[in-house]
Amino acid sequence: MATQAFEGIVEDFEFLDDWETRYAHVIDLGKAMPPLEDALKVPATKVEGCASQVWLMPEIDGATFHFRGDSDALIVRGIIAVLVALYDGVPVDEVPKIDARSELGRLSLEEHLSAQRSNGLKAMIQRINKLAVEAA
């Protein structure tokens, strides 16, 4: 059920030899992502439960889920970029059906994150699902 963009990340990870290289790739994904405007970095878009500052901004286009995000930590920006690849362009009612844990497991991402980063990732996924349910 993953998007083509997410499948591209999975393919990239298959060619990267070790976790340090994959970690650097995730950071590069975050660097390539356009920043969220400061005007959108407000309490309403902030994700609670993250060690870093994280903001997620939904943009629902008809019945299609889009979102943008940002963080003050490079690795977290990269994780947001991975989540954008996983969820962006999915029909709103399909978003909660995505097994994010399983999909991200294909990247072995969570097993290489600290407990705080892992909790933050869970908080971001919960927020994305909540936003989609509210928009549906």
Entry pTM? 0.93
Q: Which CATH number fits domain 4-135: 3.40.50.150, 3.90.79.10, 3.90.1010.10, 3.30.450.30?
A: 3.90.1010.10
- Backbone conformation region of residue 108, classed left if phi is above 0, alpha if psi is from -120 to 50, else beta: left
Residues annotated as catalytic (active site), given as ranges? 50
CA 55, CA 83: separation in Å to the nearest integer?
Answer: 13
- Domain locations along the chain: 4-135
Residue 113's nearest CA partner among 30, 23, 12, 15 is 23
Give, for all 136 residues of the chain, the pLDDT tens digit: 678 999 999 999 999 988 899 999 999 999 999 999 999 999 999 999 888 999 999 898 889 999 899 999 999 999 999 999 999 999 999 999 999 999 999 998 878 888 888 899 999 999 999 999 988 7
Q: Which residues pair with 59 in a beta bridge?
A: 66
State both tokens at 106. 């294909």
pLDDT given at position 111: 82
